[in-house]
């Protein structure tokens, strides 16, 4: 029984929120096309107590089961967003979406799990983790965490070990930008890469050269350019390419896998392509804004419009987005995130006189599934199976939670969407579920509509209505040593044996 209470999200829309258990945990989805990353088939899907218990044609059930008709529609794993920032303190303010409004938005858009970034408190990662445990306590969808590394000492490597072995963390993010706040130097990155490797944790980088960005910003201010366009001009693609290449080379030197977050430029993508071609394990994550938008918005004379597009690395000129889409469709880049990090227009106005003070970040958590469907499947660039791979399955594999997540298989969690390819969606800040008063995709319409979202075996989005249950979202522990670590010991051994001859020679020359 639910003790339903109506709550408002700040955009003024009402939806049903309950704080204790809801029944109706038996659901049959009938007659749809079930899509997994490598296969699609006409089948029914039967769910009981949060788990998928059957996937096959013509499943018969009793009257007590809720039946959803998916004829002519796609039944797919709920989206997993690898990159969000909810309730994040950043650039003198805090993101307007917390775990409640951000997750509600996600569910309304067909995303059923997200991975957020824990920011350490004064460099203390365990304290940061505990703070994020509190922020996420009432979650209504499943979530996991990456943890940022912002300083280095013995305590930090010990904390990384605690987080991996006791707290379900298997990834750490290193910011090569944001000089003076989150940025780390190469010596720290090197220590971090070594520790990640020893723990089986994935190293992630925000790849921009922070020192050069600082210099670029100074140049713009000296030229009298203080508006949002100065943001893009101060940190051009070459600085993203440089940092991506540097991080890739250091990861190769350490021989550990690397994950490049928010790949925004062809420059960075080219470095990833080159490394992958040479056999290096590098994952590239474009985000929806980088795939779909271009930088002309930053030149809009209306500050409220231009400032909403300020994020880092910046949204690039026309051409980069298409190059990233092509790379995603051919497997050079592997999965799509959002970097959902929202600030409303009053918060963005902190940088009215100086683009360096505009809080960096854009929305996307609610829009990602629709925009990728419309742009990439709708155009024929990728198949429905590819769509599932880049929006869900590959994320689950990389963060080692497949096939519990990212699949419609017997035994997987019942995180499922029903998408109608013949229906259409429209995006607006007037109807979205984020608390932000703006939306970078304002006015966009497209084909494809997530009509039903099932999270943890509950129907949470149907008939344009959200029914979320506070506290029903689970923290998903992510174990170390994903498939990306397979074979590393062998390649280390090969490297060591290749050193035997030169070491011998060097020693003989020394005597
Ligand atoms: O502008 C951005 N990307 N804001 C969020 C922080 C980050 O760098 O991911
Ligand atoms: Zn970043
Ligand atoms: Zn444009
Ligand atoms: Zn981010």
pLDDT tens readout for residues 110-119: 999 999 999 9
Q: Is 249 exposed, middle or buried (0-12, 13-18, 19+ CB in 10 A)?
A: middle
Where does 363-481 have alpha helices with state H? 368-372, 384-388, 394-398
Q: Whose CA is nearest to atom 3 of ligand 1?
A: 312
Distance, CA of 172 to CA of 475 (rounded, Å): 17
Instruction: Name the residue with the closest Cα to ligand 1, atom 1.
Output: 311
Please give the distance, rounded to the nearest whole angstrom, from the Cα atom of residue 87 to the centre of ligand 2. Answer: 15
Cα–ligand 3 centroid distance for 297 (angstroms): 7
- CA angle, 112 then 387 then 374, to 5°: 95
- Which atom, in ligand 1's list, is nearest to the CA of 173? 9
Binding site membership of 84 for ligand 1 (Cβ less than 6 Å)? no
Mutate to test the pocket of ligand 1, among 343, 360, 365, 440 (most ligand atoms within 8 A of CB): 360
- Residues 82-88: what's their mean pLDDT? 98
* Ligand 1 nearest atom to the CA of residue 312, by list position: 1
Residue 230 pLDDT greater than 70, yes or no: yes
Q: Which residues contact 410 (CB under 8 A, 6 or more apart)?
A: 52, 53, 54, 55
Rounded distance from Cα 285 to ligand 2 centre (Å): 11
Closest residue by Cα to atom 5, ligand 1, is 361
In the prediction, which pLDDT does 77 show?
Answer: 99
pLDDT at 12 over 80: no
The model's pTM: 0.96
Question: Which of the ligands is closest to the CA of residue 297?
Answer: 3
Q: In the chain, pLDDT over 70 holds for what percent of residues?
A: 95
Confidence of residue 10 (pLDDT cuts 50, 70, 90): very low
Alpha carbon distances (Å) from 318 to 266, 295, 324, 439: 11, 7, 11, 20
CB 149 within 8 A of CB 129: no
Asked whether the predicted pLDDT for residue 19 surpasses 70, the reply is no
Among 155, 172, 323, smallest CA distance to 257 is for 172
Q: What separation in Å is there between the alpha carbon of 66 and the centre of ligand 2?
A: 42
Nearest to 333 by CA among 275, 261, 283: 283
> Measured from the CB, is residue 85 less than 6 Å from ligand 1?
yes
Q: Is 206 in the pocket of ligand 1 (CB under 6 A)?
A: yes
Mutation test of ligand 1: which of 86, 293, 312 has the most ligand atoms closer than 8 Å to its C-beta? 312
Near ion ligand 3, which residues have CB within 5 Å? 294, 296
**Strands in 333-464 per DSSP E:** 416-426, 445-455, 458-462
pLDDT score of 11 more than 50: no
Measured distance CA(321)–CA(286) in Å, rounded: 9
pLDDT at 248: 98
Q: 339 CB under 6 A from ligand 1?
A: yes
| Torsion angle of C-alpha atoms 52, 55, 57, 63, degrees rounded to 10 | -10
How far apart are the CA of 233 and the centre of ligand 4, in A? 20
- Ordered structural domains, the chain, with CATH: 4-76+414-469 (2.30.40.10), 77-409+480-485 (3.20.20.140)
Q: Of 11, 25, 43, 74, which Cα lies nearest the Cα of 469? A: 25
Average pLDDT of the residues in 61-79? 97
Asked if residue 8 has pLDDT above 50, the reply is no
Return the closest-CA partner of residue 292 out of 275, 315, 312, 273.
315
Lowest mean pLDDT among 14-28, 171-185, 413-427: 14-28
How far away, in angstroms, is 424 Cα from ligand 3 center?
A: 23
Dist CA 192 CA 169 (whole Å): 15
322-342 pLDDT tens trace: 999 999 999 999 999 999 999
What does the pLDDT average to over 244-253?
98
- 511: pLDDT confidence band, cut at 50, 70 and 90? confident
Calculate the average pLDDT of the chain. Answer: 95
pLDDT tier for residue 25 given thresholds of 50, 70 and 90: confident
pLDDT digits (tens, 9 = 90+) for 426-436: 999 999 999 99
Question: What is the rounded CA–CA span in Å between residue 289 and residue 353?
Answer: 25
- Ligand 1 within 6 A of 148 CB? no
- pLDDT at position 15 over 90: no
- Residue 5's pLDDT band, with cuts at 50, 70 and 90, is very low
- From the CA of 422, how far away is ligand 4's center (Å)? 33
- Ligand 1 in contact with 338 (CB < 6 A)? no
Closest C-alpha to ligand 1, atom 8: 312
| pLDDT value, residue 23 | 46
Ligand 4 centroid–CA 249 distance in Å is 22
CB distance 337 to ligand 1 below 6 Å: no
Average pLDDT on 187-196 reads 98
What average pLDDT score do residues 439-466 get?
98
pLDDT at 509: 94
Model confidence at 161: pLDDT above 50:
yes
Among candidates 145, 84, 86, which has minimal Cα distance to 336?
84
Q: Residue 475, Cβ neighbours under 10 Å: how many? A: 16
Instruction: Please say whether the beta carbons of 248 and 271 come within 8 A.
Output: yes
Which residue's alpha carbon is nearest to atom 4 within ligand 1?
361
Q: How far apart, in whole angstroms, are the C-alpha atoms of residue 189 and residue 195?
A: 10
The dihedral over CA atoms of 345, 351, 357, 358, expressed in degrees to the nearest 10, equals 30
Q: Is the pLDDT of residue 56 over 50?
A: yes
The residue among 502 and 18 whose pLDDT is bigger is: 502
CA of 84 to the centre of ligand 2 (A): 10
For residue 32, list its beta bridge partners.
Answer: 43
The average pLDDT across 350-363 equals 98
* Distance, first Cα to last Cα, the chain: 82
Beta carbon of 367 within 6 Å of any ligand 1 atom:
no
Q: What is the pLDDT at residue 14?
A: 54
Give the number of the ligand closest to the Cα of residue 299: 3
Q: Cα of 213 to ligand 2 centre, how many Å? A: 14
CA of 339 from ligand 4 middle (Å) equals 4
- Whether 361 is in the pocket of ligand 1, judged by its Cβ within 6 Å, is yes
**Per-residue pLDDT tens digits for 372-428:** 999 999 999 999 999 999 999 999 999 999 999 999 999 999 999 999 999 999 999
Is the pLDDT confidence value at 6 over 50? no
- Percentage of residues of the chain with pLDDT beyond 90: 94
């Amino acid at each position: 029984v639910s003790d339903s209470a109506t709550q408002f999200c700040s955009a003024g829309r009402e939806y049903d929120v309950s704080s204790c258990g809801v029944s109706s945990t038996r659901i049959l989805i009938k007659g749809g096309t079930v899509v997994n990353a490598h296969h699609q088939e006409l089948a029914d899907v039967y769910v009981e107590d949060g788990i998928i218990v059957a996937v096959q044609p013509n499943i018969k059930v009793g009257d007590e089961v809720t039946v959803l008709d998916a004829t002519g529609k796609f039944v797919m794993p709920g989206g997993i967003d690898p990159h969000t920032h909810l309730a994040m303190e950043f650039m003198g303010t805090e993101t307007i979406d917390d775990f409640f409004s951000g997750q509600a938005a996600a569910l309304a858009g067909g995303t059923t799990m997200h991975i957020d970034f824990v920011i350490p408190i004064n460099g203390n990662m365990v304290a940061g983790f505990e703070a994020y445990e509190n922020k996420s306590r009432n979650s209504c969808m499943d979530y996991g965490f990456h943890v940022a590394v912002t300083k280095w000492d013995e305590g930090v490597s010990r904390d990384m070990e605690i987080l991996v072995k006791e707290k379900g963390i298997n990834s750490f993010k290193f910011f090569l930008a944001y000089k003076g706040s989150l940025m780390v130097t190469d010596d720290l990155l090197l220590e971090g890469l070594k520790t990640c490797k020893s723990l089986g944790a994935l190293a992630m980088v925000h790849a921009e050269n922070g020192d050069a960005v600082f210099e670029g910003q100074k140049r713009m201010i000296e030229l009298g350019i203080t508006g949002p366009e100065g943001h893009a001009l101060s940190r051009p693609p070459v600085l993203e390419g440089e940092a991506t290449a540097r991080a890739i080379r250091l990861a190769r030197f350490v021989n550990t896998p690397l994950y490049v977050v928010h790949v925004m430029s062809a420059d960075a993508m080219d470095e990833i392509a080159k490394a992958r071609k040479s056999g290096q394990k590098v994952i590239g994550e474009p985000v929806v804004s980088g795939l779909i938008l271009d930088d002309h918005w930053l030149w809009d004379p209306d500050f409220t419009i231009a400032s909403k597009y300020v994020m880092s690395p910046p949204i690039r000129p026309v051409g980069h987005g298409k190059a990233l889409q092509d790379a995603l469709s051919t497997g050079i880049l592997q999965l799509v995130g959002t970097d959902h990090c929202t600030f409303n227009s009053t918060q963005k106005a902190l940088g009215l006189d100086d683009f360096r003070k505009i809080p960096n970040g854009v929305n996307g958590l609610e829009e990602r599934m629709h925009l990728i469907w419309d742009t990439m499947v709708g155009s024929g660039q990728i198949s429905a199976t590819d769509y599932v791979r880049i929006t869900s399955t590959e994320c689950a594999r990389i963060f080692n939670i497949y096939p519990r997540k990212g699949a419609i298989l017997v035994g997987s969690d019942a995180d499922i969407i029903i998408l109608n390819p013949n229906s259409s969606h429209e995006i607006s800040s007037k109807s979205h579920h984020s608390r932000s008063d703006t939306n970078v995709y304002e006015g966009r319409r497209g084909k494809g509509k997530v009509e039903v979202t099932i999270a943890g075996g509950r129907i949470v989005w149907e008939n344009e209505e959200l029914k979320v249950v506070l506290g029903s979202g689970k923290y998903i522990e992510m174990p170390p040593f994903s498939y990306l670590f397979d074979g590393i010991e062998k390649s280390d051994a090969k490297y060591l044996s290749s050193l035997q001859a030169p070491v011998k020679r060097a020693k003989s020359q020394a005597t």
